[in-house]
Chains A and B, each alone.
Chain A
Amino acid sequence: MMANPTPPTVEAKLTALAVSLRGVTKAYDNGVMALGPLDLAVRKGDFISLLGPSGCGKSTALRIIAGLTAASSGTVRVARPEGEMQPGHGIGFVFQEPTLMPWTSVRENVRLPLRLGRIPKAEACARADAALASVGLADFADAYPRELSGGMKMRVSLARALVTDPDILLMDEPFAALDEITRFRLNNDLLALWRALGKTVIFVTHSVFESVYLSQRVIVMTARPGRIQADIRIETVEPRAEEFRTSAAYSDYCRRVSAALAPSYAGRSTL
């Protein structure tokens, strides 16, 4: 195709974006501004964190991207896989709680998105088992959620988000309720999955350390209404591993991110 070379046009740049938000705001019914205006562009395959004080609207931003909440103004663009018409299939969502259905087995929980998409049962079960294996829970497919520990439930939730093979993974403080040891293990597992699967991840957290450890970009948000305070790129030797957690570069980044976060707390000492 010499006669028709494709230069890197604006169009091509746009398609390389997984998510783009432009002037997005969210106001509650009582008129209080919760979010924005927010401008954010996330490239395909990136791992970014939204970091901010509680109540800054970072979860709201995530729900707007997922289409669970409507923005009050602004435009939201989410890249969808070609030929994919059904909403949601390009997106996997992991909530703050595991959000599993207690009345059915782990396998059925993971199979749910496929079941809702009317995928034949045999294929759906095979894919659910594969997703469970990818989070190390192949042996627990027939267990009920209540029989699992907090960390295992979160893994099931992650497997469910991955089972549709989405391009974008949205995670809303998924590990906030877990103990530190479990959280570190899940951080490493998540990084390994991200490297293996090449998904775009948008990760909401209120932990400076977690955001720096996991992401390529940390978006620091201000207190309500949430806006972008700083956009810090974390560059280090990939793949990251436990050594990064104890390195000088890591603590430097943590200091920078904390400094960027500090203004959000000004004037909120009454809390």
Chain B
Amino acid sequence: MTAQAAVTAKPSGARRAMRFVLPLIVFAAGLIAWELLVRLKGIPPYVLPAPSVIVLTLIKDWAVLSQSLATTLLTTLEGFVAASIGGIALALLFNQSKWVEYSLFPYAVVLQVTPVIAIAPLLLIYLEQQTAVVVCAFIVAFFPVLSNTTLGLNSVDRNLAGLFQLYGASPQQTLRFLKLPAALPYILGGLRIAGGLSLIGAVVAEIAAGTAGAGSGLAYRIAESGYRLNIPRMFAALLLLSLAGIVIYGVLALVSHLVLRRWHESALGKED
């Protein structure tokens, strides 16, 4: 019986391992091919730096780059927090009053569909640079939080809502014990999207601010290095941005999983 169990368990375990191993093999193969191409063809680093050169640059310029990384991450965090609070608060307001929703929702959509790269230069005129960058991150990230939270608040089980009505629940009780918990999976989904988007918003605003500004974020480093033809440093900064995005997504996915693991289908699927 144990042998049988082992036989049935093996393919799924192997498949699971393959899901991690295969992308790594592709990654390694790509890096090797890139390295070989650069070395064999003798491509100069200012055209295309080899991966080894990028890593060396990352180590050599760590003092500068880590400073920039911290700046960008701080901006992203500020934008993300503002977007989370703003999105959830606005959704709650919409949920309380249809009139407010009808009045304001179109403008939330307008803000969302207007490309942020086009808004950024205007913001930079009217706002201080650091504020403008955070506002950009906020504009890009708040809409998914708003629309997901709205969806969640409207997805409350009708019979449960009836039960709360039957027992004379106050609006505050209904919000706290029914609407917010019911909307939680949707809110967390929105936050997961918002995390990545606020990084994008911060980067876009830094690029728009360009070298004219006093900023020192990673996107600013990329722009600056581009003007100086310091291509390896551009790649190193890009690598850091990419890693930051992955970590942000991973952390938010983990939080979502931990919060929902006892009851929500999305978190249960992996265990069963």
A interface residues, Cβ below 8 angstroms from B: 63, 66-68, 86-89, 91, 93, 95-97, 99, 101-104, 112-113, 115-117, 144-146, 164
User: Count of chain B residues with Cβ under 8 Å from any Cβ of A?
Assistant: 21
B interface residues, Cβ below 8 angstroms from A: 157, 159-160, 162-169, 173, 177-178, 181-182, 184, 262-264, 268
- Cβ of B160: which chain A residues have Cβ within 8 Å of it? 99, 101
- Cβ of A93: which chain B residues have Cβ within 8 Å of it? 162-163, 166
Bound Cα distance A148, B165 (Å): 26
Bound Cα distance A97, B263 (Å): 17
Contact B157 A99, beta carbon cutoff 8 Å: yes
4 tightest CB-CB pairs across the interface, nearest first?
A: A99-B159, A88-B166, A116-B167, A95-B159
Contact B181 A68, beta carbon cutoff 8 Å: no
Contact A89 B263, beta carbon cutoff 8 Å: no
Interface of chain B, main secondary structure: helix
Bound Cα distance A115, B168 (Å): 11
Contact A116 B164, beta carbon cutoff 8 Å: yes
**Known contacts A101-B178, A103-B184, A144-B263; A117/B162 CB under 8 A:** no
- Cβ of A86: which chain B residues have Cβ within 8 Å of it? 168
Contact A116 B168, beta carbon cutoff 8 Å: yes
26 A-B pairs in the complex with CB atoms less than 8 angstroms apart: A63-B162, A66-B166, A68-B162, A87-B168, A88-B166, A88-B167, A89-B167, A93-B162, A95-B159, A95-B162, A96-B159, A97-B159, A101-B177, A101-B182, A102-B263, A102-B264, A103-B184, A103-B262, A112-B163, A112-B167, A112-B177, A116-B167, A116-B173, A117-B167, A144-B263, A145-B263
Contact A101 B167, beta carbon cutoff 8 Å: no
Output the least CB separation between B166 and chain A (Å): 4
What residue of chain B has the Cβ atom nearest to residue A63's Cβ?
Answer: B162
- Cβ of B159: which chain A residues have Cβ within 8 Å of it? 95-97, 99
**Known contacts A101-B181, A103-B181; A144/B262 CB under 8 A:** yes
Bound Cα distance A96, B182 (Å): 20
